[in-house]
Amino acid sequence: MASKKIFGIVLAGGEGKRLMPLTADRAKPAVPFGGTYRLIDFALSNLINSGMTQIVVLTQYKSHSLDRHVAETWRLSGLLNSYVASVPAQQRLGKRWYTGSADAILQSLNLINDEKPDIVVVVGADHVYRMDFSQMIDAHIKSGLGVTVAAIRQPMALADQFGVIQVDDDNPEVIAEFLEKPKNAKGLPDSPGEVLASMGNYVFTTEALIDAVRRDGDLPSSNHDMGGDIIPAFVASGDAGVYDLNRNEVPGASDRDRFYWRDVGTIESFFEAHQDLIAALPVFNLYNRSWPIFTQQLNSPPAKFVRDALGNNGTMVDSIVSLGSLISGARIERSVLGAWSTIESGAVVTDSVLFDRTRVYPNAVVSRAILDKNVVVEEGARVGIDHELDRSRGFTVTDTGITVVGKGERVSA
């Protein structure tokens, strides 16, 4: 990394309404993912692996489990002033909560002033990806611009789903225009069929960031949002650059997952991201030892697979099973099971995501469903088979047919 003092800010105050009911009792960045992780672990792992050692996590909405996870999992040595610290809304500018991501930084400028960094890296807390931020920081310093925005290439057909960056024809590393979900985006100079979509990750020169959030804070018409207000202001003044993820080299990355990035802000994208994990050659590889994704290591026994009382072995295909789980004569296919899951004799779990301590009793069926923590599926019960029945029980069923059962629910036969 360049010889500059770097400070990291993780924006983790989002409510996550589109992930309900998974966010009914927790902040979006605290939602479990991939069996043993929380969503915030991906952002923090990327920053730590990139060599950053001073990081704050700005929290607000239902933050208890998130604060606890950061405190228990992300304890650095404390030597040389190294830390990952969870910082709740402080109300330093009056008796009000954060009104947007830019306002969160404005109300937390004391954190920046205390450390006096040269560069501030601002990232979201709810995306699944790998990225070496040190390379982006070097590119930002070289550019001399106030901000650099990380971007990933997406097919032109998906342009209306993202914030799209239009580059300068003469200098493709400078942002000419920032468009929110455009219908008629222009392709890249070197790839007309693709656009650059913002990843929600930014590198700022410190003075430029402080000035920008202060000016934004004085604008009554602003939504005080980083992507919607702060970045367009930098673009308008010709002071915004773009960093194409194609330039980023992450140690241990495979050709298949090198440029993987997914916003898991909806139930559908959350479900699909889990499906990306389970193939023999996964779209996103959790087993990259050169760039690990860190999380809390539970004091748990290994997962165990046993015959049931009738001697049936059961089967497991293309699935992830976490520590402490017990599978007895059941069939598991294309699914992700959280820690201490119990699946009993004759039960079938297919195309599903189960959080910690779920229990599926004998001969029950779970199909194309997400079960939150401590859900119990009674003997012979069905989840994800009859969508009208699922809705009548009060469960969420998406337009694509994914059934979501909230924390602690009991599913009767």
Q: Which residues does the annotation place in the binding site for alpha-D-glucose 1-phosphate?
A: 98, 163, 180-181, 198
Q: Tokens 């992450």 identify what position?
A: 250
Beta-carbon contacts of 413 under 8 Å, excluding residues fewer than 6 positions away, are 364, 378, 379, 380, 381, 382
The candidate with the shortest Cα–Cα distance to 49, out of 135, 122, 141, is 135
Continuous H helices in 20-118: 40-49, 64-73, 101-106, 109-115
Rounded Cα gap, residues 154 and 85, in angstroms: 34
- State the Cα–Cα distance between residues 4 and 136, nearest whole angstrom: 13
Percentage helix, strand, coil, to 5, in the chain? 25, 30, 45
Packing angle of the helix pair 64-73, 40-49 (nearest 10 deg)? 30
d(C-alpha 100, C-alpha 286), whole Å? 32
Cβ atoms of residues 334 and 318 within 8 Å: yes
- Mark the binding-site residues, compressed into ranges: 98, 163, 180-181, 198
The secondary element (H helix, E strand) that includes residue 149 is: strand 147-155
Residues 6 or more apart whose CB falls under 8 angstroms from that of 83 comprise 53, 54, 55, 76
